[in-house]
């Protein structure tokens, strides 16, 4: 199973403020959807609660240290169903919410899938990078600094190699550009992407 971090990161490392994105970038939201659709997405509880609904067309796995955590009801008041670890999981393209209490359990639970995307927040990113669990990073690198209270963790750039970049220059709508960048983990023995 390939474990991929997906994040949009400002020039100063900021990824969020008050549990929301500090910028408006529709191209990034479309890119995120296109990248993750049909695959499980793994996120922390605060990230899920900032979205406040399951992302459609994806199995949404929420990490919460509280084993009794439940998602908020839908807007119409209908309770949302929850699959708790270690129950059987549906296909990655099924819109469902699942929960686990820690990252190792969640990843072992998802081991039958080809790819899982870690979509936030900063604590989840930090854990995955610290435990050397990440195979690739797909980052939207924003060429502007923003105020915020959540940052992307420092990561060892010698352990990853850039394998793709799409440049999006500044435009009439925004004074700053951004790049979609893919980094693959390096095979230490050959110094090539895994």
pLDDT tens digits, one per residue of 177-188? 999 999 999 976
Q: Tell me what pLDDT residue 2 has.
A: 97
CA–CA distance, 104 with 47 (Å, rounded to integer)? 18
Kindly report, residue by residue over 130-177, the tens digit of the pLDDT.
Answer: 999 999 999 999 999 999 999 999 999 999 999 999 999 999 989 999
- Give per-residue pLDDT as tens, 106-139: 999 999 999 999 999 999 999 999 999 999 999 9
Helices (H) and strands (E) in the chain, counts: 4, 12
- Beta-bridged to residue 151, according to DSSP, are 14
Quote the pLDDT of residue 111.
95
Q: What predicted TM-score, i.e. pTM, was given to this entire model?
A: 0.95
pLDDT, average across residues 69-97: 94
Alpha-carbon span 109 to 169, nearest angstrom: 40
Q: What is the DSSP-derived secondary structure letter of residue 121?
A: -
CA distance 38 to 31: 14
Predicted confidence band of residue 62 (pLDDT cuts 50, 70, 90): very high
User: Residue 50, SS3?
Assistant: helix
Is 90 exceeded by the pLDDT of residue 193? no
Cβ-based neighbours of 155, under 8 Å, separated by 6 or more: 129, 137
Our CA angle for 158, 39, 27, nearest 5°, is 70
pLDDT of residue 189: 64
Token look-up 């550009």 returns 177
The tokens of 30 are what? 């479309």
Q: C-alpha angle with apex 3: 156 to 73, nearest 5 degrees?
A: 115
Matching CATH number, 2-70+78-193, of 3.40.640.10, 3.40.430.10, 3.40.50.720, 3.30.420.10:
3.40.430.10
pLDDT tier for residue 194 given thresholds of 50, 70 and 90: confident
Tell me the average pLDDT across 66-94. 94
| Nearest Cα residue to 32 out of 121, 139, 135, 114 | 139
């Amino acid at each position: 199973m390939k474990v991929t971090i997906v994040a949009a990161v400002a020039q100063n490392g900021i990824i969020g403020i008050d549990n929301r994105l500090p910028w408006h970038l529709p191209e990034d939201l479309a890119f995120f959807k296109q990248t993750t659709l049909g695959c499980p997405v793994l996120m922390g509880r605060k990230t899920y609660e900032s979205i406040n609904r399951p992302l459609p067309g994806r199995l949404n796995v929420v990490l919460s240290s509280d084993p009794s955590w439940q998602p908020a009801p839908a807007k119409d008041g209908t309770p949302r169903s929850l699959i708790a670890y270690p129950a059987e999981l549906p296909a990655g393209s099924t819109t469902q919410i699942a929960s686990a209490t820690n990252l190792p359990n969640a990843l072992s639970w998802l081991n039958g899938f080809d790819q899982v995307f870690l979509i936030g927040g900063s604590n989840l990113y930090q854990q995955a990078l610290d435990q050397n669990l990440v195979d690739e990073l797909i980052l939207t690198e924003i060429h502007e600094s923003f105020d915020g209270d959540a940052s992307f963790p420092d990561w060892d750039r010698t352990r990853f190699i850039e394998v793709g970049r799409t440049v999006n220059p500044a435009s009439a709508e925004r004074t700053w550009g951004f790049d979609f960048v893919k980094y693959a983990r390096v095979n230490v023995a050959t110094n090539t992407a895994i």
